[in-house]
Structure 1
């Protein structure tokens, strides 16, 4: 690293140190904290998603002594895994790094790098839960619930109802396994909080995934539906 790079790195650490001191004194509240929080999660989601999609996340976990049996992750689900890792990594970052005093300027690790590392530490548990869901629900039949979930119109002729049912089942089958589970449980009357307890997700994450699953179906080309 050249002298100019070293100077920039030192300046970044000093800036991070000032921010952290301010956040600790303010009790992680106020407009500056909320703006930092929003930008950190957005930037972190992009970085962690890239790690998951490229497979580099498994290397990073191994470097931390957390070796995982790698399984192919559909691109559609990579961002969801990354989102969960960012959510849980942020809790570590907030409680231990900021409030717990673990992050210090003297340790020489930029704040964002510390945050991404917290997400890496959170990923093994997120990944193992995902593996359990993927490998443990293979025999659940879900397609038939799509009609009632999306309120397929049945006011027309019996032939219309059959066509609508086939279209709904095709759309439902195009979803990822995780999305089908969420929609199935929602259709059975489970609340977001109850689904979250079953699948070890936050209620907000459940709500977002259900919304994305419905949007993905609505975006299917007409000929595929």
Structure 2
């Protein structure tokens, strides 16, 4: 449910309350007219554009200051801002716009068509619309955070130029330990296969696993599920196993790669 509570009324109480009540009464007439038009058409578009513009500017300020996290928690949609996550300057506007786009749909479906906005609820249309956007923020932020974590890993974690030093990792050879000749074949095959992998998330997932990250830790760093990372790594391991067995004259079994 979108919060109908309006902002605290500063200044001379009586005068502010009269002005607020007059604004709510005027907005109620506007909404009644828009309802008769089916919440479509030019007038409704103008109203929505004004609300979107106001909310986007306000939410961007709240994102920059951190106020949005407090408001999300207060409306029952808490979300944690993880320490160490870097924000680019444009990220604040991106978060605000994405939350407003979701909030706009909620406002239209529930507040307008569903009739949940009422002048006797206390919040004017601007406040009600912002509250709808705050409700949307938590899920928007979580989706953004997954992408931001991937970006941060890719920006801050250089890939090795030579993978041969990591080729003995269990992520490539399973639990078996190749003999010296097999180790040379494995190192060559790992380097050959990885030169052909273009997906940066797969390469960084392999690197993180090779240097000791668990599957869960590596997936979390990349903003992927464990299953998604597992599938990416499995494809590379199968390629390495096939090439190794062909080079060593094996049967193509992947027994040591499980």
Question: What's the TM-score bracket when you normalise by the shorter of the two chains?
Answer: 0.5 to 0.7
Counterpart-to-counterpart distance in 1, 2:57 and 2:145: 22
Aligned to 2:28: 17
SS for the counterpart of 1:127 is helix
Aligned to 2:126: 112
Is 1:55 equivalent to 2:66 in the alignment? yes
Q: Within 5 Å, give how 1:53-132 maps onto structure 2.
A: 53-71=64-82, 72-132=86-146
What CA deviation, in whole Å up to 9, does each residue of 1:139-176 have, x standing for no partner?
658xxxxxxxxxxxxxxxxxxxxxxxxxxxxxxxxxxx
Aligned to 2:19: 8
TM-score (norm 1): 0.59
Structure 2 stretches lacking a partner, 5+ long: 1-11, 156-200, 202-258
Aligned to 1:41: 52
Aligned to 2:181: none
Q: Greater helix percent: which structure?
A: 1
Q: Within 5 Å, give how 1:75-224 maps onto structure 2.
A: 75-137=89-151
User: 1:49, CA displacement in angstroms?
Assistant: 0.8
Counterpart-to-counterpart distance in 2, 1:27 and 1:3: 36
The 1:140–1:53 alpha-carbon spacing in structure 2 relative to 1, beyond 3 Å, is closer
Counterpart-to-counterpart distance in 1, 2:153 and 2:141: 21
User: 1:69, CA displacement in angstroms?
Assistant: 1.4
Aligned residues: 142
Structure 1 stretches lacking a partner, 5+ long: 142-180, 182-225
SS for the counterpart of 1:115 is helix
What CA deviation, in whole Å up to 9, does each residue of 1:62-103 have, x standing for no partner?
111222111453322100110000000000000000001111
